[in-house]
Amino acid sequence: MSALSGGEITNDGGGQIISRGVVWSKMPNPTLELNNGTTNEGSGPGLFQSNILGLQPNTTYYVRAYATNSSGNGYGQQESFVTSDIGEPGGGVTDIDGNFYPSVIIGNQEWMAENLKTTHYRNGTPIEFPGTNNIAWMNNTTGAYSWYGNEYIGWKDIYGGLYNWYAVNNSNGLCPTGWHVPSDAEWTELTDYIVAQGFPNSDVLNGTGNALKSCQQESSPFGGFCAPSMHPRWDSDTTHYGTDEFGFSALPGGTRYTQGFYWGIGNFGFWWSSTEHDATMASRRVIGFNFGNVAQYDFFKGHGLSVRCVRDMD
């Protein structure tokens, strides 16, 4: 969740302005030493704008502009605002392997806020792991998973696993008890809700895909935490960047093709639905670093994609 703020420096206080921005907190009178977050919008006098990211829903925040010169820090008038109640944190869930996933309530649904990374079905049965054996991966029709590039340590905790659709459809249950892989209709319910909040599902800057993407992206205009050079993050794009308006925090885990090779980490996130198209294909959703919408395509069941689970309805 984000907010737009800013300020204007009209007097340098007798010294060159070396940094400026805004500072915010859940407590009144935030400072550069005591806060929940800051921005840095360069130096010098004049007008500036700041995007405040990582805000919690239904929460009061206090914000002040600041400027720093050789004599110290100065602050503008304090303003306050209350965030909306969309994207409320859920109770989270722990899988059969003991991995905990935070969750987020968006509309009438509760979604995992991270990609699934279990190595067992919910009844304890191991999921087949072909590893580097591309033939075994290609021939699997009962359920299998992989780590991107066969790098367990590098990618498991930040991007999760890549599961073929046969694992999604396995009767042992891929998601934790009380949760399931969303159907195509449930994915549509999610994007329709985002659209209703003012984020069109089209290739525009404020598109649904950008609203669901983690803000972590190379060269993000938000800077700081949102502009890392190392993974996890989206690759840089001159037009599109994530704002994570709802706490969904989508990250680009890439894919493993049926033939066994990997592609797309940092560029694209692919997520299965439970909806079968025909004997060889099933529905998926795609978010990319260089477009603003959430796209729907049918894909070969033997491909390895990320999975987000959604809580069962009572």
| pLDDT single digits (tens) 168-222 | 999 999 999 999 999 999 999 999 999 999 999 999 999 999 999 998 999 988 7
Residues 122 and 228 in one domain: yes
Say how far residue 298 (Cα) sits from the centre of its chain: 22
Residues 44 and 158 in one domain: no
- Assess contact for 243 and 54: CB atoms under 8 A: no
Residues 65 and 105 in one domain: no
Q: In this predicted model, what pLDDT tens digit does every residue of 265-310 receive, in sequence order?
A: 999 999 999 999 999 999 999 999 999 999 999 999 999 999 999 9
Q: pTM score, two decimals?
A: 0.79
Q: In this predicted model, what pLDDT tens digit does every residue of 16-48 receive, in sequence order?
A: 999 999 999 999 999 999 988 888 899 998 888
Length of the chain: 314
Residue-range definition of the domain harbouring residue 115: 88-311
- For residue 18, the domain's CATH number is 2.60.40.10
CA distances from 35 to 29, 118, 162 (A): 9, 36, 38
CA dihedral for 255, 121, 273, 178, sign (positive or negative): negative
Identify which of 294, 268, 298, 271 has the alpha carbon closest to the alpha carbon of residue 283: 298
Distance in angstroms (rounded) separating the CA atoms of residues 225 and 173: 36
- Amino acid identity at 281: M
pLDDT at 1 over 70: no
DSSP-based three-state secondary structure for 211: helix
Residues 132 and 271 in one domain: yes
Q: What percent of the chain is predicted at pLDDT more than 70? A: 98
- Assess contact for 140 and 302: CB atoms under 8 A: yes
Residues 40 and 58 in one domain: yes
Distance in angstroms (rounded) separating the CA atoms of residues 58 and 196: 18
Distance in angstroms (rounded) separating the CA atoms of residues 247 and 24: 19
Residues 157 and 303 in one domain: yes
